[in-house]
Structure 1
Amino acid sequence: MIKKLLLIVLCLGFTTAYAETIKTDVLVIGGGASGVSAAIQSARSKVKTLLIEQGPWLGGAMTAGGFSYLETNRNFPSGIYGEFRKRVVDVYKLRLGYDTTYNAPLAFEPAMGATILKKLTDTVKNLTVKLNTPFTDVKKDGTGWEVTIIDNKEKVTIKAKALIDATELGDVVSKINVLMTAGFDSRSDSKEALAPTNATNQIEDISYIATLRDYGRNTDHTIPKPEGYDASKYACLKGVDVKKLLNSAKLPNDKYMINWDNCASQYSVTSEDMQPENRAETFRKARLHTLGLIYYLQTELGFKNFGFADDFKTADHLPYIPYVRENRRAAGLVRMMLDDIYTPYDRGSQLYRTAIAVSDAVPGQHYSEAGVLHISYPPFPAFTIPLGAVVVKDQENLFVTEKALSVTHLVNGAVTDAAVQMSLGQGAGAAAAFRAFFQTTTKNLQPRIIQGEILDFKGYLMPFADIKQTDPAWRAIQQVGATGMLKGVQKIKGNRTEVLFMPDSTVTTAEIRPFLDEIYSRSFIWFNQEKPGQLFTVANTISFISNMNLRDPDDLRNALQKSWKSYYKFDTEFKADRPITRREFAVLANRFFNPFARKVDISGKVIN
């Protein structure tokens, strides 16, 4: 009997120990825009994934932070962000006045955004989501990671093969011995011409965003006067068209997102203010600043009919978290800088070849503190975000997103927008899944395989504004564009610069020869023998394919002529002697050269 009792006790002990340890392939800490997207992609890539979020909502800044009016990446409904966008539009499309055009700003109520994300994650196999679950410790576990969380008031250990820090403020990497920087980089450090001579710890202002509702003309929803209220702090709003400001971020159901620049919503901080020990006081003061703005709007500007909406169940009805634009940045395998955006094809490193996401955001410069340097950016191009920027240097199998991304300060303001982070998170999730699925480490990541996975799930690699995802040639153009065989063309449009593929323009010999010579040993011989003219023709393309693939040129010509419109979906006529278009060349090159199959390293160098 005693032996049986001891056996039962031992079994119960083993059961308890087992229940306190969770094993997973990929652990994502942080359920913001990038974290949700990373977790979904990782699970879809057929690895076991766990997502933990310390708050009650998924979505981070765009839901729990109230930033629910997304204007960036409207031309790039990339992958999971595209799914989220479609679900939002489906919810609101029958509402009078809701703009459902494919590239309209995406407006939604914060609580609805969180609900949509939760429903989306609930449909994903291999994915477990835990809300209201903070982590307390993180440490290495062989080649993987061991993380301690608080689940239902109990300590639980998670062992993961790959770890993604998707927290809003880089709180995971801050607990590990990872090199971090904050504020303006010096010119000597970043080698950016627009950087200041000296580094500073000034970062962009934070904001507590308010979600207000118009309750009708004869109502009064004036809040109590906030602690320390000083009307002079909001004097910049005198003489401003407040109705225009309100309508600039109008949400469904007579709600409005209040996130106004300068003296209004912004609260100046330094990187020291954002340290864990200083955050509570910093955030308390920032909340009071926004409450003062709302009181000023109601009492001084006469909008007492505008009161807080019911999205947030906080005592003051402000969001659960502040909108943070910048914090400390981790050192990654690569550090993305301005030249990677303005002149991506002219760099020693070819980081665009390792792209895992795109952005068309313009860097924000939200500083209410007097004397902070403002940068005169030339018109800002749409750009790619490289794989190496999400992979932490000197720490195996650790990835970062959000504000900890490995970029310079001058780039940071263009990558932290929620729509961009959703696209980026998908790339990080694919990379983490690669590590787990192939039982390798971040030292052996293969950009082309990871990019192929992103494309399989409709994620963008290249920001070509003139090639929609519905285009039959979209994937071929994305892949060829990522090789650099055919490069994007920058066209200034206002304060932005679009990147275009220009599919109907003709291909020049000069633009494609350098890449073809780089990847094909016989290419040099072919060019010297054939001596194609300035414009590359359909016949030249057939000849080159025939030579590289050792295929009879007449058979190839006949096959292409028969399938020109039916299989390849070209709307042009097959004529061998005319210049070939970029669309035609991209599709044929992708089909017969398969340049995307050539391996590249983390810097974008082709591996022969």
Structure 2
Amino acid sequence: MIKKILFFLFLYCINTAFAETIKTDVLVIGGSASGTAAAIQCARSKIKTLLVEPGPWLGGSMTSGGICILDANKNIPSGIYGEFRKKVTEFYKKTSGYDTTYNATLKFEPYTGAAILKKITDTVKNLTVKLNTSYTTVKKDDTGWDVVIAQDGNTTTIKTKVLIDATEFADVAAKAGATLVSGAETRQDTGEKLAPETALTTLRNLTWAVVLKDYGKADKTITKPENYNPNLYACLKGKDVNKLLSDGKLPNDKYFINWCANSYPVTAEQLSPAKREEYFKTLRLQALGLVYYLQTELGYKNLSLDDEFDTPDHLPYQPYIREYRHIKGEVRMIADDIYTPYNRVSKLYRTSIGVADAMPEQNADGAVAYPPFPAYTIPLGALVVKDMENLIVTENAISVTHLVGASTCNPAVQMTLGQGAGTVAAFCAFFKTTTQHLSVRAIQGEILDFKGFLLPISDIPLTDPDFRAIQQVCATGLLQTRTEPSSGNALKILFNADSLVHTAEVKPMLNEIYTRGFLWFNKIKPGEFITVGNLLAFISEITLSEPKPLQIELQKEWKSRYKFKDDFDLNRPVTRREFAVLSNKYLNPFARRVDLSGHLVN
């Protein structure tokens, strides 16, 4: 009898163990802006995906952290971020005073932003989302990763091929054994002219955002917070508080507070897993103190917290972490990759999986004198942990320097970046390969399929019929983008479709990509500008097609198919649009493989 009981207990244990194990192709830990976008993209690429978020909302800093005014990437609404922008605008389009113009600063109530993201994920096939779910252990196995998660007191083992760390603190990567570093690198280490001479351990301030509601004439003064000290908010003296409030105006009589008075110095030690929660308790009290100060010292008793966040103090669930630690990636992006992308030995712009135009966020007491800051690309290799298969990292832990991280921390940038991370993970899962064997062009092609940008070109929108051709050709460096002042210290990136193609611009790349290019240039010797005839002759040379039939074909389709506005004339200089469209179709430079450094692969 005892043997039978033991036997049935044995079978029960086996069945229970089986029930507590879930297999998925991709596991995303962290429902941050990047994590949510990564999970959506991965699932849309027809990969079985599981998203685990410890908190109750999706969106990370821009929802749970209350950072709900986004000025970045409004001129380059790439992919999933562009979709999110559109849905937010549609939601508020009937709200009085809401700006619905194409490139307006995006403003929303945090709860609404989280609800929109949840609604998007609910409609995506192949995606399972688990909110209020934590994780405990992360372990590499032969074919992927084993992760133990906990929900409602029950633990489950997740077996996944690819793991994405989309947490705010890179805790998953740390548990997995990845190398992580904090602080500002030296000029000698990175070669960045703006970097300090000696290494700094200083991190950028974090913010505990506050969202207040206007209650009209009612007095909504809160109870004085514990350890309240009005001196903590002295930086507001002499400030135009009405203007600060106006700048943070949200729909439905709410205000977003992201001021000097709720921006806090932080160290890597304070953000360590063992100490962060205690530190955050102090910051929450200081953020409440700001509300009390605003009400009692400045007279705004009508402004107070509402139930936007279901927390005991009604403050956001989490702070806005601008910087903590960075992985050692397959490549490290430095400031020169932003300022001089075409003049470096590495050509990381060719490996772009995300775009950004966020101005660097700085501490008032340690500002860096950034020159005019251009929109830029984020390279694939910055997300891939070096020497660790199938571990991809997003949020603030990507492999960038302290100077670059001041921009990439922006939630709008992170959502765009997350789509790239999801595409990388989907590639590994679909082709049953690892992050050591990535195809840059295949991944970029998938991003383009889902309306993502590879380059932050703001004068060729997604609706342009030649968008893809221009993005692909520019991603090879065959045609280089130009910068132009935007607002403040920002520079926007332009294609200038109607300008002419200089021979000196395209000759180096044509020679590099096509073996017979050198012979053609020596034979034809084109002038200062490439003409329509020159381009057709080069196409004929490379594709081994007969010149006359090619000319007849293109002359016939010049306006009917390609919709070029200028007449077909072999003797006039070709425009950049014409060059991009025709070289993309006939020469297909985008098909040439590149490695994670952007170098051509033979």
Q: Is the 8 Å Cα contact of residues 140 and 176 (structure 2) preserved in structure 1?
A: no
**Structure 1 residue 76 displacement after superposition:** 1.0
Find the aligned partners of 1:607 and 1:137 in 2 and give their Cα distance: 39
Summarize deviations over 1:124-148 as a string: whole Å, max 9, x none. Answer: 1111110011000101011411111
Aligned to 1:168: 168
Residue of structure 1 in register with 2:304 after alignment: 307
Q: Please, which runs of 5 or more residues in structure 2 have no aligned partner?
A: none
The answer to whether 1:248 aligns with 2:247 is yes
Q: Which residue of 2 aligns with 1:316?
A: 313
Contact 2:475 2:590 in 1 (8 A): yes
Q: Check 1:574–1:3 CA distance in 2 against 1; reply closer, same or farther (3 A cut).
A: farther
- Alignment-derived partner of residue 266 in structure 1: 263
Aligned to 1:346: 343
State yes or no: 1:239 paired with 2:247: no
Answer yes or no: is 1:386 the counterpart of 2:383. Answer: no
Q: How does 1:113-512 map to 2 (within 5 A)?
A: 113-216=113-216, 218-261=217-260, 264-366=261-363, 372-493=365-486, 494-512=488-506
| 1:8 to 1:566, Cα distance in 2 relative to 1, 3 A | farther
What is the Cα deviation at residue 238 of structure 1?
A: 2.0
How far did 1:7 drift? Answer: 7.6
Paired AA for residue 504 in structure 1: D
- SS of the aligned residue for 1:276 comes to coil
Residue deviations 1:426-476, cap 9 Å, x none? 000000111111111111111100000000000111011111111111111
Among candidates 522, 546, 551, match of residue 545 of structure 2: 551
Q: In structure 2, give the amino acid aligned to 1:503.
A: A
User: Residues 374 and 483 of structure 2 are in contact (CA less than 8 Å); yes or no, is this contact kept in structure 1?
Assistant: yes
- Distance between the aligned counterparts of 1:232 and 1:501, measured in 2? 51
SS of corresponding position for 2:342: helix
* Alpha-carbon displacement from aligned partner over 1:502-546 (angstroms, at most 9, x marks no partner): 111000111111111111111111111111111000011111111
Q: Name the SS of the counterpart of 1:174 in structure 2.
A: helix
What is the distance in 2 between the residues matched to 1:554 and 1:6? 86
Q: Structure 1 residue 569 and structure 2 residue 559: aligned?
A: no
Match of 1:345, SS? coil
Letter of the 2:374 partner, please give it. P
C-alpha separation between the residues in 2 aligned to 1:223 and 1:4? Answer: 65
How high is the sequence identity, in percent, across the aligned residues? 59
C-alpha separation in 2, matches of 1:102 and 1:19: 49
For residue 578 of structure 1, what is the amino acid of its counterpart? R
What is the TM-score with the length of structure 2 in the denominator? 0.98
Could you tell me how far 1:191 is from its partner in structure 2?
Answer: 1.6
Residue 366 (structure 1) shift: 2.5
Distance 1:200 1:146 in 2: 36
**Number of aligned positions between the proteins:** 601
What is the distance in 2 between the residues matched to 1:200 and 1:289? Answer: 26
**Are 1:95 and 2:95 an aligned pair?**
yes
Amino acid of the structure 2 residue aligned with 1:420: V
Conserved 8 A contact 1:267-1:289: no
**2:601 corresponding residue in structure 1:** 607
Counterparts of 1:107 and 1:181 in 2: how far apart (Å)?
A: 34
Distance between the aligned counterparts of 1:573 and 1:10, measured in 2? 81
Query: 1:481, 1:488 within 8 Å by CA — same for their partners in 2?
Result: yes
One-letter code of the match for 1:556?
L
Cα displacement (A) at 1:151: 2.3
TM-score relative to the length of structure 1: 0.97
In the TM superposition, what is the alpha-carbon distance from 1:416 to its structure 2 partner? 1.1
Q: Do the aligned partners of 1:356 and 1:386 also contact (CA within 8 Å) in 2?
A: yes
Structure 1 gap ranges (5+): none
Cα distance in structure 2, aligned partners of 1:342 and 1:449:
27
Q: Give the structure 2 partner of residue 588 of structure 1.
A: 582
What is the Cα deviation at residue 73 of structure 1?
0.1
**Distance (Å, rounded) in 1 between the aligned partners of 2:556 and 2:124:** 42
C-alpha separation between the residues in 2 aligned to 1:169 and 1:604? 29
Contact 1:451–1:461, Cα closer than 8 Å, also in 2: yes
Task: Report the alpha carbon displacement of residue 13 of structure 1 after superposing the two structures with TM.
Answer: 3.5
Give the Cα separation in 1 of the matches to 2:490 and 2:39: 32
Deviations 1:91-124 (A, max 9, x none): 1101111111010011111111111111100111
The answer to whether structure 1 residue 525 and structure 2 residue 519 are counterparts is yes
AA partner of residue 315 (structure 1): P
In terms of mean alpha carbon deviation, does 384-393 or 191-200 score higher?
191-200
Q: Distance in 1 between matches of 2:469 and 2:151?
A: 46
Quote the offset at 1:570 in angstroms: 1.6
SS in 2 for 1:128: strand
Q: Tell me the secondary structure at the aligned position of residue 275 of structure 2.
A: helix
Query: Map of 1:34-113 to 2, 5 A cutoff?
Result: 34-113=34-113
One-letter identity of the residue aligned with 2:218: T
Question: What amino acid maps onto 2:367 in structure 1?
Answer: H
Structure 2: how far apart are the matches of 1:58 and 1:560? 50
Q: Please say if residues 39 and 49 of structure 2, whose CA atoms lie closer than 8 Å, have aligned partners that are also in contact.
A: yes
Amino acid at match of 2:230: A
Residue type matched to 2:422 in 1? Answer: G
Q: Secondary structure at the match of 1:185?
A: coil
Matches of 2:552 and 2:250 in 1, distance apart?
Answer: 57
Q: Which amino acid aligns with 1:239?
A: G
What SS does the corresponding residue of 1:111 show, helix, strand or coil? Answer: helix
**Counterpart Cα distance in 2 of 1:210 and 1:351:** 38
